[in-house]
Amino acid sequence: MIVRKNPSADLTKYNSLFYAIGLSISLLLVVTAFEWKFYDDGSVANIDTDINSMFDEVLDIPPTEQPPPPPPSKNRFIEIVEVPDLEEIEEDINIELDVDVTEDMVIEHVEIEAPDIMEEEAEEIFTVVENQPEPTGGYEAFYKFVGEELKYPTFALRSNVEGRVFVQFVVEKDGTLTDFIVARGIGAGCDQEAVRVLKMAPKWKPGKQRGRSVRVRMILPITFKIAGQG
């Protein structure tokens, strides 16, 4: 047996009515809340008292006296003085020309010779160039020459002084060696002997920068070693 609900007891058909009644009650409560007015018996009296007290405290401020503006300055008139016309000075100017100029005369071109200015080439000394200077015949031939010419100083030989002497010098444009300076020495007469031998060295091939010979500074070691010692 299927139980069926009695149509008279079905309340769903009144949903729209219940919704409309609830909405009306809500709107009525909102309007009542905004329109409701509260009155305070003593507020008006207090406001009047405060306003009167404020006006009572206002002080009468006397008007400030401003000094009158200074009188306008008198216009300074510029006095115009008439200047008489300058007298014309008549003078005969005679121009004497020693040369008779004719239409057929041709003026030769005049050339002004400038004084000869000797341009001194900057004697710059390079340290690194495109083509470094080197001894004639190579370094092997150069050190062979040094070994043949070098004489071991007696004091250094007796004192067993050995080592390298670094000599700084300049290879000139023509290959000669100049400006000898001992950059680092070992003493005992070895420094002077190294410089003496380098001054006797033949000319080197000069260094070149951009195809031309230039001065180049170099540092070369000269070794002093006693034969027979390890």
Report the domain count for the chain.
1
Q: Please report the pLDDT score of residue 70 as a whole number.
A: 72
Q: Please report the pLDDT score of residue 39 as a whole number.
A: 54
pLDDT band at 24 (very low <50, low <70, confident <90, very high): confident
Higher-pLDDT residue of 171, 109: 171
Q: Please report the pLDDT score of residue 118 as a whole number.
A: 40
Q: Please report the pLDDT score of residue 15 as a whole number.
A: 76
Residue 95 has pLDDT above 80, yes or no: no
Higher-pLDDT residue of 154, 68: 154
Residue 11 has pLDDT above 80, yes or no: no
Report CA dihedral (121, 123, 129, 131) to the nearest 10 degrees: 70
CB contact burial 208-230 (16+ within 10 A = b; e otherwise): beeeebbbbbbebebebeeeeee
- pTM, full prediction: 0.47
pLDDT band at 218 (very low <50, low <70, confident <90, very high): very high
Which alpha helices (H) appear in the chain, and where do they start and end?
15-35, 43-57, 139-149, 154-158, 190-199
Say if 162 falls within a structural domain.
yes
Say if 216 falls within a structural domain.
yes
Say if 115 falls within a structural domain.
no
Mean pLDDT, rounded, of the chain: 75
Amino acid at 203: K
Residue 45 has pLDDT above 50, yes or no: no
Q: Please report the pLDDT score of residue 19 as a whole number.
A: 81
Domain enclosing residue 204, as ranges: 134-224
Q: Please report the pLDDT score of residue 203 as a whole number.
A: 94
Say if 168 falls within a structural domain.
yes
Report CA dihedral (26, 31, 33, 34) to the nearest 10 degrees: 140
Say if 176 falls within a structural domain.
yes
Please state, in angstroms and rounded to a whole number, the distance separating the CA atoms of residues 193 and 14.
132
Say if 7 falls within a structural domain.
no
pLDDT band at 129 (very low <50, low <70, confident <90, very high): very high
- Mean pLDDT over residues 74-102, rounded? 54
pLDDT band at 65 (very low <50, low <70, confident <90, very high): low
Lowest mean pLDDT among 10-19, 111-120, 137-146, 174-183: 111-120
Please state, in angstroms and rounded to a whole number, the distance separating the CA atoms of residues 219 and 174.
18
Residue 166 has pLDDT above 50, yes or no: yes
Say if 173 falls within a structural domain.
yes
CATH of the domain at 150: 3.30.1150
Q: Please report the pLDDT score of residue 114 as a whole number.
A: 45
The C-alpha angle with vertex 48 and arms to 43 and 50, in degrees rounded to 5, equals: 95
Reduced to 3 states (helix: H, G, I; strand: E, B; else coil), residue 7 is helix
Q: Please report the pLDDT score of residue 38 as a whole number.
A: 55
The C-alpha angle with vertex 183 and arms to 132 and 210, in degrees rounded to 5, equals: 20
